[in-house]
Chains A and B, each alone.
Chain A
Amino acid sequence: MNKWYVDTGPDSDVVISSRVRLARNFNNYPFPHRSLPEQQEQIIKETCEALFSDNPKLKETFSLIRLNDLSPIERLVLIEKHLISKELAESNLISGALISRDEQVSIMINEEDHLRIQCLATGMQLEKAFDICNYLDNVIADKIDYAFSNTVGYLTSCPTNVGTAIRVSVMLHLPALTMTGYIKPILESCGKLGLAVRGLYGENTEAYGNMYQLSNQVTLGKNENDIVMSVKNISYQIIEQERLMRIELLNKNSIKLADRIMRSYGILRYAQSLSSDEALQRLSDIRLGINLGLIRDLSEKDISVMFLMIQPGNLQQHEKRELGPEERDIARANYVRKYMEKDNNMGNDKLI
């Protein structure tokens, strides 16, 4: 089955992916961090029953992964695919994740809240991601009494999520705004508009490869649709700025920009050792090159695949062994080189 990230979504020249996440808790158990191991086990069981008992199709779609059974590399792979959070991977509770076969949907069990229902989609597809979360939420809510209050809505372990308990986010690729420094005031104004800006892997992570994650902060007092729309509208303003800036860069100094992009292409094509930071930066340049029509033998999909596969967990899984930092840099360069050597990369699924 094709994984979700090999598709291309709307506005994919700037928007890498959309994500919606709902936090839910069972009313009759304490929140995960104050629950007993038997209760944690019970929550996994009841969630599966609620989802699957009347829906054989869902049972075919999802598989339950128990975090306690996974090796550190397997956990890292799931984090890099955004299917589980770092917190879940590091948790010492009995925890699990129900993951759909196309890896688009994941329901984390016993993270900060009993359930974290999340859906990913390529490009700008927030509504689609929300609809899928909403559907799964309804299936579970049919059988389970959620922790819910008439006044403050869905009750969550952390009061910052109370209310709709929704987190709506988009991952934007903003190389032109970053290069020109215009990104700074834009990100500051996002903060004023109630949006949080983070790096690639959520809280407290840096913006690698010119990727920025924008998400709503407020979850109480607005309905789900308004929250989705406000993230979408603010994102589109930034997307337009990025597009304008790309054209301006190209008009003002096209040789300099093309030189930078093609140098990155050359380095990825021939390098023998690549650090993670450098690889992400070079891939960002190439993605921009594809968007500007300067590079034609690679597609956005190829960048997405390489972007994922050069990260430590996926790289080690691909090599089927643990690698030290220097070995990783060599393996990373080898992977990228081989990927780019292929004549026709468009159908290059064998390397995933």
Chain B
Amino acid sequence: MTLCQICRKREAKVHYTQIINGQKTDLFVCEQCAGAYGVKIDLNSLITGLLGIDDEQMLSQRAVIRCDRCGMTVEDFNRTGKMGCSRCYEVFQEPMQELLTRIHGNTRHRGKIPVRFELRQKTDLRIVELRKELEECIRTENYERAAQIRDEIRFLTNERGGRSI
């Protein structure tokens, strides 16, 4: 159990993130203290209440965070309840984790994995292994093998779309 950082007595049930001039502060507080400090928690609006903070200033400061790919802001999310693109899930990872726990009681996928994703993961793993082996070959001056490995890495990197890991 995490204790409330204000009263240090009750269980902290509210995670409160404040960003001022790019400086992020995390606060874990209980529901009572959250209320006393003017943080209104709207438990009914699970989704649009991602922030759970009804404070104009806080909202506008928070809204500065923007997905670098599609441009979605927290404010957009609070208005629509929808993410903008797959990258949003990385940008807003932290509040999303909390939200997913509230919706699903879980934050970890245990189902199907798309085949191309699985293959790429295997390729990535192989590239990492090969790189280690390459270093080892160079250290032991086994240049013939090193050249083979280099070619294989090049081949695998091309196969996964040319992007390096």
Contact = CB atoms under 8 A, between A and B. Distances in A.
B111 A223 contact: yes
Contact of B104 (A25, A33, A142, A163): A163
Contacts of B82: 31, 33, 112, 157-158
B19 interface: no
A142 B115 contact: yes
Interface string B63-90: 0000001111000000011111110011
A233 B107 CA distance: 25
Contacts of A219: 104
A137 B113 CA distance: 11
B85 to A, nearest CB: 4
A147 interface: yes
B112 interface: yes
Given A141-B116, A151-B109, A152-B107, A160 B85 contact: no
Interface in A150-196: 150-160, 162-164, 166
A162 B5 CA distance: 32
B55 to A, nearest CB: 23
A92 interface: no
Contacts, number: 119
Query: Interface size for chain A: under 10, 10 to 19, 20 to 34, or 35 or more residues?
Result: 35 or more
Interface residues of B, number: 33
A218 B110 CA distance: 12
A34 B109 contact: no
Contact of A149 (B106, B109, B112): B109
Given A153-B111, A223-B110, A162 B86 contact: no
A158 to B, nearest CB: 6
B111 A163 contact: yes
B107 A145 contact: no
A34 B81 contact: no
Nearest to A163: B109
A155 B92 CA distance: 13
A158 B116 contact: no
A156 B116 CA distance: 18
Given A138-B115, A152-B100, A160-B47, A221 B110 contact: yes
Contacts of B81: 158
A148 B89 CA distance: 10
B162 to A, nearest CB: 14
A141 B113 CA distance: 10
B117 A33 contact: no
B70 A34 contact: yes
A30 B91 CA distance: 14
A27 interface: yes
Q: Which of B70, B84, B85 has the most CB of A within 10 A?
A: B85
Contacts of B22: none
4 smallest CB-CB distances across A and B, nearest first, come from A221-B106, A153-B109, A147-B86, A164-B111
Interface of A: 25, 27, 29-31, 33-34, 112, 134, 137-138, 141-142, 144-160, 162-164, 166, 218-224
23 contacts: A31-B85, A33-B80, A33-B82, A34-B84, A137-B112, A145-B116, A145-B117, A146-B116, A149-B86, A150-B121, A153-B109, A155-B83, A156-B83, A159-B83, A160-B47, A163-B110, A163-B111, A218-B105, A218-B106, A220-B104, A220-B109, A221-B107, A222-B106
Interface of B: 47, 69-72, 80-86, 89-90, 96, 99-100, 103-117, 121
